[in-house]
Amino acid sequence: MERWGVDGFDAFVAARWSSLLHVARLLTGGDRQRAEDLVQEALVKLWFAWPRIAEQAPEAYVRQVLVRMAARSARRRWWGERPVERLPDRPGPGDLSAAVAERSRLEAALALLPPKHRAAVVLRYCEDLSEAQVAEALGCPVGTARSHASRGVVRLRQILSGTVRHLG
């Protein structure tokens, strides 16, 4: 783990922004705006804790904050969006359409998982954290984190194979 030092907050943010945004986006079920908001709020919390944790594990700290904020955010019923009758047309690159479609399919499937299962799957398999690190980020025992990840993967496979429909 890289040591960032007391004055290294800006370097940490510059180096880890895209990775944190990726995790937040997966935790929010693919909602980029909510993911950006989560990362910004988590970094504000990190800023205040920076002198205390800069030499220890700032990435683990901010990851844990992201997971908790995403879980709290998922329990909210409304985030202030307003529906529109027609979505704006945005042309995209043709070469990447299959990859984008598959990523969107995965994000949509992740969005159907319960927040703790989603967080466990994202941290374990997208972020490649150990079971102990996932448990620490979720604030639960290793066995519980393992169970969340296992159930999440089973449910994700069912959703992606089309054998389960979302009834929400």
- For 118-142, the DSSP string reads HHHHIIIIIS---HHHHHHHHTS-H
Whether the CB-CB separation of 138 and 67 falls below 8 Å is answered with yes
pLDDT in the model for residue 100: 76
Domain ranges of the chain: 9-76+101-161
Tens place of pLDDT per residue across the chain (168 aa)? 456 555 788 899 999 999 999 999 988 888 888 899 999 999 999 999 898 888 888 888 999 999 888 888 766 555 566 667 777 666 555 557 777 778 888 888 999 999 999 999 999 988 889 999 999 989 999 999 999 999 999 999 999 888 765 444
**Confidence (pTM):** 0.57
Q: Name the CATH code of domain 9-76+101-161 (choices 3.40.50.620, 2.40.240.10, 1.20.140.160, 1.20.1730.10).
A: 1.20.140.160
Whether the CB-CB separation of 70 and 54 falls below 8 Å is answered with no
